[in-house]
Amino acid sequence: RLVPDAVVLEDVSYQEATELAYFGAKVVHPSTMAPAIENKIPIWIRNTFNPSYRGTKIQERAPSGHPVKGFTTVEGIALINVEGTGMMGVPGVANRLFGALREVDVSVVMISQASSEHSICFAIPEAQAALARQTVERAFFAELHHNQIQMIDVTENCSILAAVGDNMVDHPGVAGKFFSALGTARVNIRAIAQGSSERNISTVIDCVDSRKALRAVHAAFYLSNQTISIGVIGAGLIGGTFLDQLRGQMEKLKKEWRIDLRVRGILNTRGMVLSEGRSLDGWREALEASQTPADLEAFVAHIQADHVPHAAILDCTSSAELTTQYPCWLERGIHIITPNKKANTGSMEFYRLLQSTARERKRHYLYETTVGAGLPIVNTLRDLVQTGDEVLRIEGILSGTLSYIFNTFDGTKPFSEIVLDARARGFTEPDPRDDLSGTDVGRKLVILAREMGLALELAEVRITSLVPASLREGTLDEFLKHLPEHDQEIAALLEQARGRGEVLRYVGVIDPKGECFVELKGYPQAHAFAGTTGSDNIVAFQTQRYHTQSLTVQGPGAGPDVTAGGVFADLLRLASFLGGA
């Protein structure tokens, strides 16, 4: 089946059926319809294997509906182009050309001529290409000899792709949508023909692109603009939670908002599952039982399906190596959604490449969840910048893990005990030093700084690590064993803060000079940062517009549910963008 989502046409006019039959629909031949057309007798096309199905009714006037009734292809075509300055304004050239071809019984399938009359190209059965070329050279021998015709070019291995529909004449933009779909699918168009009746648009394309082109135009006209082929890389805590959230919403999104989200691939380090994305029931079991080894290139090729209008990859890993593929995916026309901070905090050169590739290829690269999980921090900052506000200072608690630790640390329990408790609850990375080092907060500052337009590298962020210098190296077990030995150091900082009427918070700051630093800092009890609870993130934007009172975003900044929900929200945001395409 060339098009997996093909549908049965309920009603077709005689003219539409004739066009479709001429261009390869083998169900009915134009000649057999002539008596029915003459006497206005309806023709029913039924399926002998499914006699109870209504089938298709061919009649004089089909009920108006979809502007394009169908697409069809003719294979085994050769395209001949006759070009020369001696043809311009000379009457009878076309008559001589097609008269000569008629004399040798060459069937011309399609004709296209430039209005300047500088060239005429026509499509014929490939088997007649050599005969046609000889005939044209003989008919225009004198013009070729005197260089009035400069070229007779034959291109073989072509196909004709035709769009057919009576209602195309009443719908502006059909041709634009047709050619846009082919352009998005990277199908090169060699020739175009359309009559004034606008019932048919025909194009000549390379034969190797025929299947891809047919699927692309069908998807553009018959599927929702918000149909997306989705590949999820990383099915752990965040990726798995996202898949569970999507599973519960798929049918509602499709039914109520025509958002058709098809997870056609799930990949982790152990293997992958590829499908058509009809259901997410049992996805965990399918991935666990999969015998298909992880093959990133095959995975991406499957996700970029030519019969689905759009493709998106959701990178739910923390892999730096995987992010090196982002520019390639964008270049291929794939949208990217990710909570992975590594891409936006790599070198400034790589960051600029990512952003420019997304712009040039008109693809969406969405990463709201790289800062603040599901909180609208990145988009809020982007809105401020794009609307012309000047951002003066950004200050925030950007680690849900460290927010929980310092919201809990009140001196009644040793600091090390709270860290171990947070680890046991799954709030920290497996090695808590990854959180306590402050690098994660530093990465988030880099992301925000670059959104502001600052050319900042991660190495330029001044980070005060909470990991004692003597424990930064060595094994995890050694770190956990010796961390209690340093409880007094941080307990002393807590007492000093209390003496000033303050609480301790681990924050990231971008100051008015554009300098960035991460540090443990005291805040008075009346400050908004002192009122956080649990794993709250809070970010204060001080700008020209929000100068006397900062714009503040606050809420849970850690946990698989809110992070996966943020990824889901980015996916729906992508669907919304594409819905207007």
pLDDT tens digit sequence for 362-385: 999 999 999 999 999 999 999 999
Residue 480 lies in a domain: yes
Structure tokens at 274: 């590829």
Q: How many percent of the chain have pLDDT more than 70?
A: 98
Tally the domains of the chain.
Answer: 4
Query: Do 385 and 496 reside in the same domain of the chain?
Result: yes
Burial 160-187 (b: 16+ CB within 10 A, else e): bbbbbbbbbeeeeebeebbbebbebbeb
Neighbour count for residue 136 (Cβ, 10 Å)? 23
Round to whole Å and give the CA distance between 516 and 393: 10
Q: What is the DSSP letter of 486?
A: G
Round to whole Å and give the CA distance between 152 and 84: 9
Closest CA to 569 of 305, 288, 377: 377
Q: What is the CATH number of the domain that holds 296?
A: 3.40.50.720
Q: List the catalytic residue out of 69, 212, 341, 444.
A: 444
Residue 217 lies in a domain: yes
pLDDT greater at residue 471 or residue 426: 471
pLDDT exceeds 80 at position 580: no
Q: What is the DSSP letter of 432?
A: T
Query: Do 415 and 480 reside in the same domain of the chain?
Result: yes
The mean pLDDT of 74-98, rounded to a whole number, is: 91
Query: Do 541 and 394 reside in the same domain of the chain?
Result: yes
What does the pLDDT look like over 126-135, one tens digit per residue? 999 999 999 9
Round to whole Å and give the CA distance between 13 and 485: 86
Residue 64 lies in a domain: no
Residue 2 lies in a domain: no
Q: Which of 222, 246, 281 is the last residue of a domain?
A: 222
Structure tokens at 323: 């992010």
Q: What is the CATH number of the domain that holds 554?
A: 3.30.360.10
What does the pLDDT look like over 445-500, one tens digit per residue? 999 999 999 999 999 999 999 999 999 999 999 999 999 999 999 999 999 999 99
Q: What is the CATH number of the domain that holds 157?
A: 3.30.2130.10
Cβ pair 1, 49 in contact under 8 A: no
Alpha-carbon distances, residue 157 vs 121, 206, 478 (angstroms): 15, 6, 68
Q: Residue 536: how many CA atoms within 13 Å on its side-chain side?
A: 18
Burial 396-414 (b: 16+ CB within 10 A, else e): bbbbbbbbbbbbbbeeeeb
Q: What is the DSSP letter of 347?
A: -
What pLDDT sits at residue 4? 77
**Alpha-carbon torsion 34, 35, 37, 38, what sign?**
positive
Residues 6+ apart with CB under 8 A from 170: 64, 67
Residue 579: pLDDT band with limits 50, 70, 90: confident
Query: Do 398 and 461 reside in the same domain of the chain?
Result: yes
pLDDT exceeds 60 at position 581: no
**Alpha-carbon torsion 129, 130, 135, 136, what sign?**
positive
What pLDDT sits at residue 28? 79
What pLDDT sits at residue 1? 66
What pLDDT sits at residue 144? 93
Helix axes 560-579, 237-257, angle to 10 degrees: 40
Residue 25: pLDDT band with limits 50, 70, 90: low
Whole-model pTM? 0.85
Round to whole Å and give the CA distance between 143 and 572: 61
What pLDDT sits at residue 30? 76
Alpha-carbon distances, residue 492 vs 414, 467, 497, 520, 523 (angstroms): 11, 16, 9, 13, 16
Query: Do 296 and 328 reside in the same domain of the chain?
Result: yes
Query: Do 249 and 360 reside in the same domain of the chain?
Result: yes
Map tokens 């009427």 to a residue. 501
What does the pLDDT look like over 330-348, one tens digit per residue? 999 999 999 999 999 999 9
The mean pLDDT of 542-554, rounded to a whole number, is: 97
Q: Which of 190, 222, 254 is the last residue of a domain?
A: 222
Q: What order of strands is seen across the sheet that includes strand 391-397?
A: 462-463, 516-524, 502-510, 391-397, 536-543, 551-556
Round to whole Å and give the CA distance between 119 and 332: 34
Q: What is the mean pLDDT of the chain?
A: 93
Range of the domain at 31: 11-59
Query: Do 392 and 539 reside in the same domain of the chain?
Result: yes
Query: Do 361 and 414 reside in the same domain of the chain?
Result: no
Residue 170 lies in a domain: yes
Residue 433 lies in a domain: yes
Torsion of CA 357, 358, 363, 369, to 10 degrees: 140
In 292-430 the beta strands, taken as DSSP E runs, fall at 310-315, 335-337, 365-366, 391-397
**Integer Rg of the chain from CA:** 32
pLDDT greater at residue 150 or residue 88: 150
Round to whole Å and give the CA distance between 182 and 20: 20
Cβ pair 514, 534 in contact under 8 A: no
Query: Do 173 and 238 reside in the same domain of the chain?
Result: no
Query: Do 277 and 265 reside in the same domain of the chain?
Result: yes
Collect contacts of 481-488 with beta carbons under 8 A, ≥24 apart: 483/416, 483/419, 484/414, 484/416, 484/417, 486/415, 486/416, 487/414, 487/415, 487/416
pLDDT exceeds 90 at position 187: yes
What does the pLDDT look like over 32-84, one tens digit per residue? 888 999 999 999 998 888 888 888 999 988 887 778 988 989 999 999 999 99
Residues 6+ apart with CB under 8 A from 535: 400, 401, 403, 404, 427, 556, 557, 558, 559
Residue 3 lies in a domain: no
Helix axes 439-452, 377-386, angle to 10 degrees: 20
Residue 535 lies in a domain: yes
Query: Do 193 and 239 reside in the same domain of the chain?
Result: no
What pLDDT sits at residue 254? 92
Round to whole Å and give the CA distance between 441 and 297: 32
Alpha-carbon distances, residue 210 vs 159, 179, 321 (angstroms): 6, 14, 35
Q: Which of 174, 195, 222 is the last residue of a domain?
A: 222
Neighbour count for residue 6 (Cβ, 10 Å)? 15
**444 catalytic per annotation:** yes
Query: Do 238 and 365 reside in the same domain of the chain?
Result: yes
What does the pLDDT look like over 264-309, one tens digit per residue? 999 999 999 999 998 999 999 999 999 999 999 999 999 998 888 8
What pLDDT sits at residue 195? 74
